Chain A
Amino acid sequence: MNRTLYGNLIFELSKKGRKGYSLPQDYDRTHTTAELPEALRRKEAARLPECDELTVVRHYTNLSHNNFGVNDGFYPLGSCTMKYNPVINEEIAGLKAFAGLHPLQPAVTCQGALEVYYNLQESLAELAGLSEFTLNPCAGAHGELTGLMVIRAYHESRGDVRTKVLIPDSAHGTNPASAAVCGLEVVEVKSLADGTVDVEHLRQLLSEMGSEVAAMMMTNPNTLGIFEPRVLEITKMIHEAGGLMYYDGANLNALLGECRPGDMGFDVMHINLHKTFSTPHGGGGPGSGPVGVRKGLEQFLPMPRVVEAPTDSCTGESYVVDWGKSFEGKRGEELSVGNFFGNFGVMLKAYAYILSLGREHIKEVGPLATLNANYIKERLRDSYLLPIKGLCKHEVVFDGLVDKSTGVTTMDVAKRLLDYGYHAPTIYFPLLFHESLMIEPTENESKETIDAFIDVMHKIAEEAKTDPELVKTAPHNTPIGRVDDVLAAKQPVTTYWKTIAES
Chain B
Amino acid sequence: MFKYFPHTEEDLQEMLKAAGAKSVHDLFDDVPEAARFKREYELPEALSETDLRLFFEQLTAPDNAMQLVCFAGAGCYDHYAPSVVQNLIQRSEFLTSYTPYQAEISQGTLHYIFEYQSMIAELTGMDIANASMYDGATATAEAAMMAWGNAKKANCVLMSETVDPKVRRVVETYAHFHGFPIKLVPAVNGVLDRSALDKEIAEGGVAGLIVQQPNYYGIVENYTGIADALHEQKGIFVVNANPSDLAILKTPAEWGADVAVGEGQSLGIPMTFGGPGVGYMACTEKLMRKLPGRIVGQTLDNRGQRAFVLTLQAREQHIRRQKATSNICSNQSLMALYVTIYLSLMGKEGLREVAEVSYAGAHSLRDKLIATGKFKDTFPGQPFFNEFCVDYEGDLEALLDECTANGYLAGVQVGEKTLMLAVTEQRSTEEIDELVEIIQQFKEEEAKA
Contacts and interface: CB of A to CB of B under 8 A. Distances in A.
A and B touching (Cβ–Cβ under 8 A): yes
User: Size band of the A side of the interface?
Assistant: 35 or more
A67 B104 contact: no
B298 A53 contact: no
A460 B174 CA distance: 48
Interface string B362-386: 0110010000000000000001000
A444 B177 CA distance: 40
Given A104-B72, A112-B60, A375-B19, A429 B318 contact: yes
Given A70-B92, A345-B275, 5 more contacts: A67-B105, A69-B93, A259-B37, A280-B95, A283-B98
Interface residues of B, number: 212
A39 B276 contact: no
What 4 A-B pairs come out closest when comparing CB atoms?
A358-B46, A103-B274, A340-B274, A67-B108
Contacts of B224: 39
Contacts of B44: 355, 358-359
B137 A338 contact: yes
A95 B60 contact: yes
A142 B341 CA distance: 27
A344 B319 CA distance: 31
A403 interface: no
A232 B173 contact: no
B417 interface: no
Contact of B297 (A10, A286, A492): A492
A183 B322 CA distance: 10
A145 to B, nearest CB: 6
B100 A375 contact: no
Contact of B360 (A30, A41, A67, A497): A30
A110 to B, nearest CB: 6
A126 B68 CA distance: 34
B173 A19 contact: no
Instruction: Choose among A112, A115, A172 the residue with the greatest number of B CB atoms under 10 Å from its CB.
Output: A112
B324 interface: yes
A71 B93 contact: yes
Interface in A101-126: 101-106, 108-113, 115-116, 123, 126
Interface in A476-503: 478-485, 487-489, 492-497, 499
Interface in B52-94: 52-53, 55-56, 58-61, 63-68, 70, 72, 74-76, 78, 80, 82, 84, 86-88, 90-94
Given A20-B346, A177-B326, A283-B100, A499 B134 contact: no
B35 A46 contact: no
A355 B359 contact: no
Instruction: Choose among A90, A102, A129, A418 the residue with the greatest number of B CB atoms under 10 Å from its CB.
Output: A102
8 contacts: A49-B343, A60-B344, A111-B64, A284-B100, A303-B169, A359-B42, A391-B30, A489-B297
B171 to A, nearest CB: 9
Nearest to A257: B37
Contacts of B348: 45-50
Contact of A64 (B35, B94, B123, B161): B94
Nearest to B24: A367
Nearest to B178: A183
Interface in A346-369: 346, 352, 354-364, 366-368
B273 A110 contact: yes
A171 to B, nearest CB: 9
B330 A141 contact: yes
B323 interface: yes
Interface in B97-139: 97-109, 111-115, 117-119, 121-123, 125, 127-129, 131-132, 134-138
Contacts of B246: 42, 46
A114 to B, nearest CB: 9
A344 B344 contact: no
Contacts of B354: 23
B104 A482 contact: yes
B204 to A, nearest CB: 24
Given A480-B104, A485-B299, A336 B170 contact: yes
Contact of A494 (B42, B104, B273, B297): B297
B447 interface: no
B47 interface: yes
B319 to A, nearest CB: 7
B410 to A, nearest CB: 10
A270 B115 CA distance: 33
A284 B19 CA distance: 33
B250 A40 contact: yes
B434 to A, nearest CB: 14
A82 interface: yes
Given A484-B299, A494-B311, A281 B99 contact: yes
Interface string B126-164: 011101101111100000010000000000000001010
Given A284-B99, A337-B173, A10 B364 contact: no
Contacts of A453: none
A379 B14 CA distance: 12
B77 to A, nearest CB: 9
B37 A260 contact: yes
A27 B169 contact: no
Interface in B398-424: 400-401, 404, 409, 412
